[in-house]
Amino acid sequence: MPDKMKPAGKVLLKDLSRAELEDFFSGMGERSFRAVQLMGWLYQRQATTFDQMTDLSLKLRQKLESAAIVNAVTVARRQESVGDGTVKYLFMLGDGNTCEGVLMRHDYGNSFCVSTQVGCAMGCRFCASTLGGRIRDLSVGEIVDQVVTAQRELAAEEKRISSVVFMGTGEPLENYAATVGALRLLNSPEGLNIGYRHLTVSTSGLSEQIRRLAGEELPITLSVSLHAPNDALRSELMPVNRRFPIGELLPACRDYIQRTGRRITFEYAMMDGINDSGEQARQLAGLLRGMLCHVNLIPLNPVAERGIARSSLETVRRFQAILEEEGIETTVRREMGGDIDAACGQLRRRAMLESGMGEK
């Protein structure tokens, strides 16, 4: 949260790592062990006010109240699927902007999808997130507090978030520092203590940042939105390809695999009559053959303003079969939240239109 968005220079506590919190308390004349004590309240017990932090003295709580902020986001809207329990949140930020997050319930655990920006500048033709463009980046605390807010709700069910995917609104690697800071805080034992292998970052293909991320030595999962098997179509669907074409993107992905030893997921949204032919499946297989990767085929969540239809299930299965015949490990993403504003950016877009803030 930029300083100008916060009351009188107050510190957003969830922006700070343990070391930064120790410095913060030292600056207040307090012992550094207060940092771990405070993080227990922020992340393990998901406190929303300083008054709840009962093992801190009243004097210290009053000092914190005057100097810091606990909550980076609040829930403005909430939709829950009656079919599978998926929950979509519209979060209100301190400056009045909004972003989205999605809680997905699985047999093997609960995953949460976070946003990293308000809006998105990538301009992908099939996505609602880019309608209206990018407003600003989210801070570390604004990213992490989306997860904390959902975890607070799950705690009432004696459950926890077991994995986090950076696949919501925005390009995580364009907001690089905050994304990496949030990854480290989510993994921290004093934070939410989620293993790195249960953290996934999705990118539209910023090759330079993929190479930079490889050097962070974070054993996370990298997911790359590909969506087309050649530069001509990918540039039409994803303007980012004009900056980082496939011939530059895939070597960066191979470098990431070599340096981290981690398999990459290539996301491929299936669009009727656009990228779903048998020839395109074979072309895609040719691009990826020999890489430590797998392809995740995504039945497109149609966005009314985009006018692009999803491929039929028969076409998706045929595409999958061709890839597997060519030796490419392939899955089809399970659809969740079909009865709510499930596509990325849709709930925020709906709220903006209803408030008169978006173009009709």
Tokens of 184: 């480290």
Choose, from 22, 30, 99, 100, the residue flagged as catalytic: 100
293 annotated active-site: no
Catalytic residue among 99, 120, 253, 344: 344
Gap between the Cα atoms of 146 and 97, Å rounded: 14
100 catalytic residue (yes or no): yes
Q: How far is CA 170 from CA 117, 166, 285, in A?
A: 5, 9, 28
Q: Which residue has the tokens 């210290």?
A: 60
Q: Is 336 helix (H, G, I), strand (E, B) or coil?
A: coil
Secondary structure of residue 223 in the 3-state scheme = strand
**Given strand 221-225, what is the order of strands in its sheet?**
73-80, 87-93, 98-106, 109-113, 161-166, 199-203, 221-225, 264-270, 293-299, 330-332
The gap from C-alpha 302 to its chain's centroid, in whole angstroms, comes to 20
On the CB side of 194, CA atoms within 13 Å amount to 26
Residues designated as active site: 100, 344
